Amino acid sequence: MPGEAGACFGIPALTALHALLVDGGVAGKTVLIAGGAGAVGHYAVQFARRLGAKHIVATVSSAEKAELVRAAGADTVVDYKTENVAERVRQVTGGRGVDRVIEVDVVANAALNMEAVRPGGEWVVYGSGAVQFTLPFFALAACSPRIRLFIVYLLEEADRRRAIDTLNGFLARGDLVHQIAARLPLERIVEAHELVESGRAIGNVVLSID
């Protein structure tokens, strides 16, 4: 495996895998992946397909990102800037909602998830755009979701080992896509950070150390 591919998958891939494997996994389930073109999201789409998800919905913010996510294996791709995500989810699930959402920003998407995830469904959350936030109790109770929060650095050893073993199996097949948006020398690290923060990079930004 090229070193630059190895630089891409570590934490993002393990995060994606734990979110998909926890609590019985996603085989036969409908899954919504927030930020499907992001580092975690792009791996999550690929893994969900390999783990037997019934239908994969992914959100993106541009047509170019939509193309990437479809190629990764998403069945339905929704541009959240131009489309009503909850409405599209209801359309493709027969009004039921998805079984699980893999959530990158629970603050930004909590209201959406209350509409898009079926009653009693699963919110698996690995990120938030704010340290503190509030949720409307009665609306949330009506949805009665099972909410699981995690930080990949703090996984139980059994969960970490399961994710690593599963990832090794996928890597051995050699068919994962490690999306690289740009390759920059270390002395351009500031530019690399700015590119990532701008949202313009479709994929990982890799720094080379000579």
Which residues, other chains included, contact 166 with Cβ-Cβ below 8 Å and sequence gap of 6+?
A: 17, 21, 47
Residues listed for the chain: 210
> Is the per-residue pLDDT at 125 higher than 80?
yes
d(CA 106, CA 181): 26
For the segment 85-117, what is each residue's pLDDT rounded down to a tens digit? 999 999 999 999 999 999 999 999 999 999 999
pTM for this prediction: 0.94
For the segment 194-205, what is each residue's pLDDT rounded down to a tens digit? 999 988 889 999
Q: List the domains of the chain with CATH numbers.
A: 3-173 (3.40.50.720), 180-210 (no CATH)
Per-chain mean pLDDT for the chain? 96
pLDDT at 173: 94
> Is the per-residue pLDDT at 83 higher than 90?
yes
For the segment 135-150, what is each residue's pLDDT rounded down to a tens digit? 999 999 999 999 999 9
Q: What is the DSSP string of 153-204?
A: GG--HHHHHHHHHHHHHHHHHT-----EEEEEEGGGHHHHHHHHHHT--SSE
d(CA 20, CA 18): 5
Task: Evaluate whether 23 touches 122 at the Cβ level (below 8 Å).
Answer: yes
Q: How many CB atoms lie within 10 A of CB 127?
A: 17
